[in-house]
Chain A
């Protein structure tokens, strides 16, 4: 896990979450901006997955439980597509709020992943 990348990812997820919730409460249905923000969150998660798989080969080992780490990562990967799909079923303001909730949940999970990789002792 690359720490600075993870912090960037965390910032993007939080920002995407707040933007979607604000736009949703302001009455906007999901649009290219909100779905794009979630797509970006998803792309960063995929990058994180690649980094996590490659990192141990470069001596960057997780201190904590890899099982737990990957459970969070796989769970997080499911959220943005799920939220976008859920939003497409009914394009209302609340679907935009759902996108925000999903992005914030991803942020929490990424933070937890960072703890597992750097702090938690297996």
Chain B
């Protein structure tokens, strides 16, 4: 219905960043903002209390910002950056989440990823999965022809 505009194939950018993908990017943006804000407060106010956890927070925040940008930007280069950052996030939330459950003493202070992102409604756990699914369905058009059919189907979703 209202997707008429978005279904019109314009550019590579139009294909990847259209329809429900815009919601994904918006949620990424909000999470990036939240992680950035929290990290800013932690580093300014109490960095000495838990340097490891807070450095990790800052790193995670930076990666979320980068992932948000990479999802929006067109082109194969940014597509790879999007994959790299999202895989990094997923690995981070799994590894840190598991460690924080098994060895809670390692993470006395909450970070974005401790307890699998419990402090953020588990959004950090779910979002990379949705992101990877989105990226897999929206490969940038190959130079020759091998564009996957997923791109057209998802715009109507």
A interface, CB within 8 angstroms of B = 27-29, 65, 67-68, 71-72, 75, 78-79, 82-83, 86, 90-95, 97-98, 101-102, 105
Contact = CB atoms under 8 A, between A and B. Distances in A.
B44 interface: yes
29 contacts: A27-B2, A28-B2, A65-B41, A65-B45, A67-B44, A68-B45, A71-B37, A71-B40, A71-B41, A75-B37, A79-B30, A79-B33, A82-B29, A83-B26, A86-B26, A90-B5, A90-B6, A91-B5, A92-B2, A92-B5, A92-B6, A92-B18, A92-B22, A94-B19, A94-B20, A97-B23, A98-B26, A102-B26, A102-B30
Contacts of B29: 82
B27 interface: yes
Interface in B84-108: none
A29 B17 CA distance: 16
- The B contact surface, by secondary structure, is helix
Interface in B24-40: 25-27, 29-30, 33-34, 37-38, 40
Interface residues of B, number: 25
B3 interface: yes
Contacts of B25: 86
Nearest to B18: A90
Interface centre among A29, A83, A93, A97 (most CB of B within 10 A): A93
Contacts of A93: 1-3
Contact of B30 (A29, A65, A92, A105): A105
Contacts of B5: 90-92
A72 B37 contact: yes
A97 B21 CA distance: 11
A92 B3 contact: yes
